[in-house]
Structure 1
Amino acid sequence: MDHVAFDDAERYEPDAGWMRAALAGSDKFTFEWFEKPPEHSSPMHDHENEQVCVCLEGELTIHTEERTVTLKQYDSVWLESWESHRVENTGDERAVGLDVFAPGRSFDFWTDREE
């Protein structure tokens, strides 16, 4: 068993109010808790990992090249490997979500990224 206390989780905070925390996982899958301030959007991106995004609080809008869907509390969406997407908080309050990635990944995806 590998326990990760939320307060001790590795964090990535690239913008004010946008924070990700690495929860328990492995090289096969990872869980990332995140929060976004109102009107914040990640850049359009893709990755080798399949992704499930669950909205835990607030409102998250997922944009792909083919479709846009807005998640309310406890709604989820599955994204295929290499499917271009961005995640935006389109609500008036902070949004909190949980991302699951398979295979697992680290924050290197963001920190080593070339814009």
Structure 2
Amino acid sequence: MRAVAFDEAESYEPDEGWRRVSMAGSDRFSFEWFEKPPGHSSPMHDHENEQVCLCLEGELTVETEDDSVTLAENDSALLAANEAHRVENTGDERAVGLDVFAPGRSFDFWTDREE
């Protein structure tokens, strides 16, 4: 077993108020806790990983090229590998979510990304 203490986990803040924390995972899957301030959106992007986005607090809107869904607390959305998408906090309060990726990935996806 490998436990990960939230306060000691690897984290980074790609934009002010958008923080991601790497939780337990492996090459097969990974978990990233995240928070977004009101109005914040990730850029439209895609990746080789399947992704489940679970809303833990607040409201998150997941938009693809063909669809859009607003997630409330405990709602989730499944994104296929290579499906272009973005996630936006469309509420008035901080939003918190959990992303699950398969296969697992590291923060390199964002830190090594070319705009």
TM-score, normalising length: structure 1: 0.99
Distance, in Å, in 2 between the alignment partners of 1:103 and 1:14 is 22
Aligned to 1:95: 95
Alignment of 1:9-20 (within 5 A): 9-20=9-20
- Give the gaps of 5 or more residues in structure 1: none
CA distance in 2, matches of 1:14, 1:32: 13
Q: Secondary structure at the match of 2:24?
A: coil
- Counterpart for residue 56 of structure 2: 56
**Distance in 2 separating the partners of 1:95 and 1:111:** 22
How far has the Cα of 1:94 moved from its partner?
A: 0.1
1:12 Cα deviation from its structure 2 partner:
1.3
User: 2:78 maps to what in 1?
Assistant: 78
Secondary structure in 2 aligned to 1:13?
strand
The aligned residue for residue 36 of structure 1 is 36
Q: How many residues get paired? A: 115
Q: What is the aligned-residue identity percentage?
A: 77
CA distance in 1, matches of 2:4, 2:80: 27
Residues of 1 paired with 2:97 and 2:43: CA distance?
17
Is 1:112 matched up with 2:112?
yes
Considering only aligned residues, what root-mean-square deviation do their CA atoms show, in Å? 0.3
Give the deviation of 1:48 after TM superposition: 0.2
Counterpart position of 1:68: 68
Unaligned runs of 5+ in 2: none
SS where residue 21 of structure 2 aligns?
A: strand
Which amino acid is the alignment partner of residue 54 of structure 1?
Answer: L
Partners of 2:17 and 2:114 lie apart in 1 by 22
Aligned to 2:45: 45
Runs of 4 or more off by more than 2 Å in structure 1? none
TM-score (norm 2): 0.99
